[in-house]
Structure 1
Amino acid sequence: MNNKKTFLSIKDIVFMNIISIVSLRQVLNAAPYGASQVILWCIAAFCFFIPLAMVCCELCIKYPVNGGIFIWVKEAFGIKTAWVVSVYYLMSCIVFFPMLLFFAFNSFFNLLQVENNHFLIMLCGIISFCAFTYFNILGIRYVNILNKIFIYLGIFIPILILCFLALVQISMGGGY
C-alpha cells in the first residue's frame, strides 16, 4: 500500500496562500501601519485563508479526480464557464509567478550589490519558473516539500529575525 501523501491538506493550502500573499515584500508596505497590521493579517487568515482552504479541501473530497478548479466549475456552471475560468486562472499565474520570482531575484542581487544585471535576473527567473513547473508536474508530494521549505525560509524565519531585531532596538532605547 502506498502511504505517501498525494493530497493537499487544509494546512498545505493555507501555507500556499500565505506564501503567495503574505511575504517579506509586504513588510515594507505594512511597516507604516505598525503592529495593527499583524491584527489585519490575522483577520485575513481567519476570514479568507482558512475558509478558502476548507472549501478547496471539501471540493477535492467531493470531486476526487484530477482537474482542480476546472472540474469544480464544470460541475457547478458547465464546461464553457469552466474553460473561461481556467484560462483566466492560467493567465493570472503566468503574470503573477514570474513577477514574484523577478522581484525576489532583483532583491537578492541588490543585496549582493549586483545592480542592473537584468540578464542575470531574467535567467534566474526563467530557470526557477521552469524548475517549479517541473516540481508541480512531479506531483503533490514535491509541491508540499517546496511549500514547507519556502514558508520557513522565506516567511517564518525572516519574520522571527525582524521581531528579534525590533526587540533589540527597543531594548537599546531606540524606541518603537
Structure 2
Amino acid sequence: MRILVLGFTGYLGGHVVEHLRALPGARVFGGGRSPDAELDIDLATARTDGLAKTLASAAPDAVINCAGSTDGDAVTLAEVNSRGPAVLCAALREAAPSARLVHLGSAAEYGPGTPDTRVTEASATRPVTPYGATKLAGTVTVTTSGLDAVVLRVGNPVGPGAPPTGLPGR
C-alpha cells in the first residue's frame, strides 16, 4: 500500500509516519514544505493542477493530511487549514480519485463545552477562534468532497516531541 503523509515532519505527522513505516507492505511517502520531503507539497500555496501532477506521480492508495497550522494570523490559518484541504480534495478528485483521504481536524471545531455539557462527536460545531473556524472549513470541504474520506478530530495530543506552542509542550 502506498501512503502519502502530508505534514510528515510535524508533531502528529512524525508519529503517524513512524507507525506506518513499521507496517509490512507499507510504502510511506513524506510530503510537505520541509527539505526532507520526498514530495514537495505546500498546501498553503499549491495550485490544483500542479498538485494533481504530483499526486498522479506518487499514485497513493491513501493520503493522510496532517498538515495544518495552530498559530498565526487569520490569513495564515485560512491558507493552511481551509484552502489546503480544498486544493488537496480537488487534486485528488483529478489524479487519484480512489485514494482514501484521512484528514486531521480539531476538537476546536466544536467550540467550548460548559461545566454541565460534555462535548462529544455528536455535538454541534461552533468554533470561537480563527483556528477552530478554519479547521471546520477544512472539515466541511473534506466531508462534502465526494472522495472516500474521513476526518479525525484531534483533541489535545500528548507525547514525545510536543510542540512548545501547545499546552502539553508547555
The TM tier, using the shorter chain, reads under 0.3
Structure of greater relative contact order (alpha carbons < 8 Å, 6+ residues apart):
1
- Choose between structure 1 and 2: higher strand proportion: 2
Larger radius of gyration: 1
TM score, norm. by length of structure 1: 0.24
The structure carrying a bigger helix percent of its residues is 1
What is the TM-score with the length of structure 2 in the denominator? Answer: 0.25
